[in-house]
Amino acid sequence: MTCEHQFYIMTSRFIGEKTMEARLLKMKEVAEMLGVSLSYAYLLTKRGELPTVRIGNAIRVRVGDLERYLKGKVEQNEPPYTFPYRKK
């Protein structure tokens, strides 16, 4: 393997990682990845817990931002959010 070939592989890996981090996800994809409802995913963005990018009327989330959100939740070891029960 030549030096030029090794450099190309290293560069393409670095660019690939940066590109993946900047990839934009639809809210439906975010909800599926988090295992929550679409409305709860929107609630996370409304609360400011999950940064968003607006493109026209569309709301998108960067993969890197979603990863940082998840990492923060794991480090905090927060219990999952539960909805309050209604009294009957």
User: What would the pLDDT profile of 23-53 be if each residue is shown by its tens digit?
Assistant: 899 999 999 999 999 999 999 999 999 999 9
Residue 9 is assigned to a structural domain of this protein: no
Q: What CATH number does residue 57 fall under?
A: 1.10.1660.10
Report if pTM > 0.75: no
User: Which residue has tokens 């709860």?
Assistant: 40
At 62, the pLDDT band (50, 70, 90 cuts) reads very high
Which residue range is the domain that position 65 belongs to? 22-76
Residue 34 is assigned to a structural domain of this protein: yes
How far apart are alpha carbons 26 and 61 in whole angstroms?
A: 7
Residue 57 is assigned to a structural domain of this protein: yes
Number of structural domains, the chain? 1
> Hey, is 60 helix, strand or coil?
strand
Residue 44 is assigned to a structural domain of this protein: yes
Return the higher-pLDDT residue of 15 and 71: 71
Q: What are phi and psi of 79, to 5 degrees?
A: -70, 155
For 9-13, 55-59, 64-68, which range has the lowest pLDDT when averaged over its residues?
9-13
Residue 35 is assigned to a structural domain of this protein: yes
